[in-house]
Structure 1
Amino acid sequence: MTAPRTEERPLTGKVALVAGATRGASRAVAVELGRAGAVVYVTGRSTRARRSEVGRPETIEETAERVEAAGGTAVAVAVDHLEPPRVEALVARIEAEQGRLDVLVNGLWGGDHLMSVADFGRKKMWEQDLEAGLRMLRLGMDSHLITSRYALPLLTRRPGGLVVEVTDGTAAYNARYRGHLYFDLAKYAPLRMAAGLGEELKDLGCTAVSFTPGYLRSEAMLDTYKKVTEETWRDALADDPHFCISESPTYSGRAVAALAADPDVARWNGQSLSSGQLARAYGFTDTDGTRPDAWGYIAALEAGEEPREEDYR
């Protein structure tokens, strides 16, 4: 018997697939969808038995445990989303076990290890490693396309389905060149995917959006700043004062959970959305009670202004 929906658990009875839920924003999205009542399938390549090429210690089993700790229901499935037969089998399993799919979050990436900050704006495309660049495109574009190809027939069986294409940067920000051609293509593609899928889904009563976190305090980012923690993150401001506008992964999780619970989510169809934008629209906050608007802060900074943290929280 399915528990009734409540204001605190508005996604009860819904089923979500968070592809690439091993760490970062996508892990937090899985947790918050579960907290809101959805059954969440969490997928990725890193398990306790085997790490992916990224080499990070986080695993899909840990993500599932965090969903359960938040009061949700999670199913961890090891999947390489670049392998169509495995994605097809994953969707077949969801159909067999749940009979439906209501939310697809394409949070797949895993390409940071293929580039360095020094590459941005300093190396021409033809000076960069071709194999690494093409792998970046596979991880950031092909994986999304393959997952959507197999998941959307199940998601579109009922009106109200939601597809979230996770990227880095808003449509306005990514309209400018990001300084690294392969990265630029990989992060612009989800914006176009959301716009295109929005057109293809709207007559079926479903919605597609692209979504970007702001300056994300992911596990890898915290490690970069002399291994500060989520509790001590402000210590990193000594090295990077602009880290003041950073946000926790939970902020992204709350953003996507708010979208998934919105009966009028179709109003966002095809659009580029950010965590700060959705916080203003839905009224949620980050874990510290503030509403950071990283992309507004970044735009002001690049316009030559000296933005103050307090004006963008």
Structure 2
Amino acid sequence: MRFSFTPARMPDTSVFRPGLLDGQVALVTGGGTGIGYGIAELLAGLGAHVVIASRKPEHLEQAAGQLRAAGGAVSTVAVDVRDPERVRAMVEQVTNERGRIDLLVNNAAGNFYAPSESLSPNAWKSVVEIDLYGTFFCSQAVVPVMKQQGGGRIVSISMTLHYRGWPQMAHATAAKAGVDALTRTLAVEWAPYGIRINAIAPGPIPTEGVRKAFTPPADSGIPDVFAAADEAMARYARKAIPLGRWGAPRDIANMVAFLASPAGDWITGAIMVVDGGEWLSKAGA
């Protein structure tokens, strides 16, 4: 039996009180699938009106339908985060329709294996523009809205691979290292506006998107940790992840909700690693 890349649903019970985010508007880029969908699902469950953004209309339609069926208040907007004009139009649309933006989650990303020596300029540019430029364009676009309303939260999704180096991921690790640096810089620069800016670095979460991005070429020499049966995958997790299990989108969503809540009022410029200790285990191997 092959490993299923559809993550097991986390328990519906939440550690957060019902209605925690009532009245808030949350904009989640890349919110139609994977981690982004998990974030949108929890935020909607806590009472926020969630706007999910994506380049792919089919992702938006399916995700919005599922979230609404579960009782969430959801709207959608199409955007390519690489295009600053379209990003500004997205923010303008959301503000016109909802009146405010309390939380921006920069989740849109594009990653794949490619040898650095033969990485094409377009491949490099595509990932850096989505992961790093998109994070900056979206963050910059919401500043006037958040300033006018007296503050807000920005949470960007980073990764842990650039903490130790990872073969054939130069484009992605460089971009995400830039996201970390950007988080710290903007946190200091925009703190006077009441805008709190943090990032989350997820560990291994075997969503379908992660499977596609992290399946190495057959001749790369990089182990394909996802190409295994359920028990083999479980053994790998017990060996490589100190807490002994793979992550799930809800693990990341919980940290987003924490940072969006009053508990995050005095947190800004932080990179929250949520990976079960995996990057520490690798670093000490």
Change in CA separation of 1:247 and 1:239 when aligned onto 2, cut-off 3 Å: closer
Alignment of 1:101-250 (within 5 A): 101-112=101-112, 115-116=113-114, 119=115, 123-124=116-117, 127-169=118-160, 174-179=162-167, 180-221=169-210, 225=226, 234=231, 236-237=233-234, 242=240, 244-250=244-250
Secondary structure at the aligned position of 1:268 is classed as coil
CA distance in 2, matches of 1:128, 1:46: 25
State the one-letter code of the partner of 2:124.
G
Structure 2 residue 9 is matched with structure 1 residue 18: no
Secondary structure at the aligned position of 1:208 is classed as strand
Secondary structure at the aligned position of 1:212 is classed as strand
CA distance in 2, matches of 1:108, 1:298: 22
Q: Which runs of 5+ in 2 are unaligned?
A: 1-15, 216-225
CA distance in 2, matches of 1:268, 1:239: 34
Change in CA separation of 1:65 and 1:257 when aligned onto 2, cut-off 3 Å: farther
TM-score by length of 2: 0.80
State the one-letter code of the partner of 2:34.
G
Secondary structure at the aligned position of 2:149 is classed as coil
CA distance in 2, matches of 1:182, 1:222: 18
1:298 to 275, 279, 283: 279
Change in CA separation of 1:192 and 1:64 when aligned onto 2, cut-off 3 Å: same
RMSD after superposition: 2.5
Once the two structures are TM-superposed, the CA of residue 42 in structure 1 deviates from its matched residue by: 0.3
Once the two structures are TM-superposed, the CA of residue 175 in structure 1 deviates from its matched residue by: 4.2
CA distance in 1, matches of 2:29, 2:210: 21
Given that residues 103 and 153 in structure 2 are in contact (C-alpha distance below 8 angstroms), is that contact kept between their aligned partners in structure 1? yes
- Report the equivalent of 1:272: 271
Percent sequence identity over matched residues? 24
Alignment of 1:36-51 (within 5 A): 36-48=46-58
State the one-letter code of the partner of 1:268.
I
Q: Which runs of 5+ in 1 are unaligned?
A: 1-5, 49-58, 276-292, 305-313
CA distance in 2, matches of 1:301, 1:192: 22
Once the two structures are TM-superposed, the CA of residue 212 in structure 1 deviates from its matched residue by: 1.7
- The ranges of structure 1 where at least 4 consecutive aligned residues each deviate by more than 6 angstroms after the TM superposition are none
Q: Deviations over 1:13-51 (max 9, x none)?
A: 000100111222111111111111001110011222xxx
Once the two structures are TM-superposed, the CA of residue 183 in structure 1 deviates from its matched residue by: 2.1
- Report the equivalent of 1:256: 256
CA distance in 1, matches of 2:245, 2:211: 14
Q: Deviations over 1:134-182 (max 9, x none)?
A: 221111111112212222211232334100011112xxx6344344432
Highest relative contact order (Cα 8 Å, sep 6+), 1 or 2? 2
State the one-letter code of the partner of 1:274.
V
Change in CA separation of 1:247 and 1:21 when aligned onto 2, cut-off 3 Å: same
CA distance in 2, matches of 1:176, 1:196: 22
Change in CA separation of 1:63 and 1:218 when aligned onto 2, cut-off 3 Å: same
